[in-house]
Structure 1
């Protein structure tokens, strides 16, 4: 059984390469590969919306409520390019990532 409230449309689907723990390492966006900077701290919000004002999507599995997973990471195109902050979202039990926001710096 699934329960779903209106979830915000993700701005754009992106491909994300992760390490074995699920932490993003690289993001393919608009045909370019952005590498997550290992010298910056990634912010993970398991089971939380990236923004509290957004609506939520959830699924019920075995009596537990799973909500959207969110990551905020800093990435760059090359070693000399400026850092950009990516806010990524992924629904539970899905391999598809969505890009919610990109901003300059941290």
Structure 2
């Protein structure tokens, strides 16, 4: 598999639609709707914010201030379009998703 990284742009036209459990189903970006391919496996994990570098302070009971949520999903605009990999990120206590990257996916073919 070969990937080509695109530098994503943050626009007001970026939205993520999720199922009730929080799994991304579709992404609106750059005037297009990208559907998460149900035949591929999405990856979900949490990272940690470097709170010691940001020097954020919060009152007791403010919630989780260090967990960053990540999703890596395969998307396409329709059933015949090429798959693309999208990396999504949500900062602690945020309700808005951020677009980390978009890359093209090219599956290797056997000769």
Shorter-chain TM-score bucket reads: 0.7 to 0.9
CA distance in 1 between partners of 2:95 and 2:41 (Å): 23
Give the corresponding residue for 2:78: 78
Give the corresponding residue for 1:7: none
Which stretches in structure 2 are left out of the alignment for 5+ residues? 1-7, 107-111
Which stretches in structure 1 are left out of the alignment for 5+ residues? 1-9, 50-55
Question: How big is the shift at 1:93?
Answer: 2.2
Question: How big is the shift at 1:57?
Answer: 5.5
* 2:83 counterpart of 1:69: no
The structure that has the greater radius of gyration is 2
Q: Aligned pairs, how many?
A: 90
- Please tell me whether the aligned partners of residues 70 and 87 of structure 1 are also in contact (alpha carbons under 8 angstroms): yes
Q: What are the residue-to-residue correspondences of 1:83-98 with 2, within 5 Å?
A: 83-98=83-98
Please report the TM-score for the alignment, with normalisation by the length of structure 1: 0.72
1:62-104 deviations in whole A, cap 9, x for unaligned? 3855321110000000110000000000112222111110011
- Please tell me whether the aligned partners of residues 64 and 93 of structure 2 are also in contact (alpha carbons under 8 angstroms): no
Q: What are the residue-to-residue correspondences of 1:1-20 with 2, within 5 Å?
A: 11-12=9-10, 14-20=14-20
